[in-house]
Chain A
Amino acid sequence: MTTEEVRGAAERAARTSYGRLLALLAASSGDVALAEDALSGAFEQALRRWPHDGVPDNPEGWLLTVARNRLRDVWKSAAARASAPLDADSARHDPLAEHDPLAIGDKRLELLFVCAHPAIDPAVRTPLMLQTVLGFEAAEIARAFAVAPSAMAQRLVRAKRRIRDARIPFIVPPRTAMAERLPPVLEAIYACAALSWRGDAESLAGEAQYLAVTLAGLLETEAEAWGLAALSTLTLARRGAGGGPFVPLDEQDPSSWDADLIAEGEAYLRRAQPAGAPGGVPAGAPGRFQLEAAIQAVHCDRRRTGATDWPALRMLYAALVAVSPTLGARVAAAAVIGRADGAEAGLDALPPEADGESFQPWWAARAELLSAAGRDASTAYRRAAELADDDAVASFLRARAG
């Protein structure tokens, strides 16, 4: 086998197993940084050994065994160094002893809950997920968040030290605690979808979708997790090739959207909405992510019907504003009211300028509504262009300003 082929096999193993292996090693030791070192050592060893020995039948099991041995070596030498007599007890305990490398469990769910633990700074939760579950380098993550690589590396190191030293447990919270523990996990994954790599055109949306679908699949019955899986899948379906000039949603050619991903997203959305609980008890009111996914599904449906169902969108946005009255939701709701009931009604529904004056979508929505009402929109378009952080969006808005 050539070096290239071996590298390919190792990279495939890395892509599919990195998060699973790291989660397992970190859960056993409670130490994410130590687990990362052990795992990267195992991958290096694979690149050296597999060209001679061939790729093992169970590459994941091989990698786990090597990484586990490395962890054991660290513990042994730590025990040898330790002088305090009480340390001997903890050194004898091998937390990996019970794991069979051929039956690798999935601890990624535990790892996701660790990354978005309430004791972890919200700003570092998404970067931590990207690094530990998806295996991104700190430098890549720093670029996505537009911060200096050293600053990002330091934040990640600090968070991992905190996980170890404060002993944040690698567990899935009990169902009774899910209502307070799940939302930060969903938020962190959602934030991943909202990011875009700076410097190149590649989007993190695909990674966010992978995380969301993984989370929903592992939790099985959490409606909002399926809502987020549906939302990120439907958003991904409309992403298109990227690059190129900005085209607003309702001017996009729906035939350019990915039909398979739309079908997949719709299936996730159906899983979020069980067809009535036993005894005819109505399911609980849909949460924010299910509503946002339903909104995306209505947009995507234009691919099938050729038209956008504005009254349906107006209803969904009213429900969204009721459960999650963010400025973004209120602005989007006003834009939809403008389409369903006329531009003047939309302008009336727009939040006051005091709330929206530094919020780009507020100016963009106001500009569109003014223009639709036949009023002067050039100032609003220019302000929206100034506030846009995407060059393609800014030049689109400047063109409309005339």
Chain B
Amino acid sequence: MRYTLLLHYEEMDAETLGGEALAEGQAAFASYAATLQAAGVLVGAEVLQPSAVTTTVRVRDGALQVQDGPFADTKEQLGGTVVIDVPDLDAAIGFARQAPPASWGTVEVRPGAVHTVEGVWTPNA
């Protein structure tokens, strides 16, 4: 069963954060990835650039609308995603609680419905 961990947290630029905290955060993410890899549950993970550089796209009545900024302008932004394949929700929560942003932000554990295999939608199992 695949779950996507949605990492939400308040964005801070490197300057506010400070070099030491930034290095600590990077080390925490590195060791988290290693944990998931060693457990054999990691499907893929990505940490996103800040929402300051995001672009929102809509098509309304056939017309393209492009806007700068995120879908929802909230204090905590989607900062990254981790896809894991584990037996059940307890296992997923077990890995979610180890995600570094769980300690300073929020980790949403979302079960997958379908995902692509070689470009074909495939149900979660």
Contacts and interface: CB of A to CB of B under 8 A. Distances in A.
A51 interface: no
B89 interface: yes
Contact of B89 (A87, A90, A119): A119
B44 interface: no
A94 to B, nearest CB: 15
Contacts of B80: none
Interface string A141-176: 000000000000000000000000111110101000
A354 interface: no
A165 B111 contact: yes
Interface string A5-28: 000000000000000000000000
Contacts of B93: 118-119
A169 B111 contact: no
A86 interface: yes
Contact of A166 (B87, B89, B123, B125): B89
Contacts of A173: 90
A84, A90, A167 interface centre (most CB from chain B within 10 Å): A167
A86, A171, A173 interface centre (most CB from chain B within 10 Å): A86
B122 interface: yes
B87, B90, B109, B111 interface centre (most CB from chain A within 10 Å): B90
B88, B91, B122 interface centre (most CB from chain A within 10 Å): B88
A168 B91 CA distance: 10
Contacts of A117: 89
B89 A169 contact: yes
A366 B88 CA distance: 51
Contacts of A86: 122-123, 125
Interface string B51-91: 00000000000000000000000000000000000011111
Contacts of B1: 167
Ranked nearest first, the 5 interchain pairs of A and B with the lowest CB-CB distance are: A169-B88, A167-B88, A166-B89, A168-B89, A166-B111
25 contacts: A84-B122, A84-B123, A86-B122, A86-B123, A87-B123, A89-B125, A90-B125, A118-B93, A119-B93, A165-B111, A166-B89, A166-B109, A166-B111, A167-B87, A167-B89, A167-B111, A168-B88, A168-B89, A169-B87, A169-B88, A169-B89, A169-B90, A169-B91, A171-B90, A173-B90
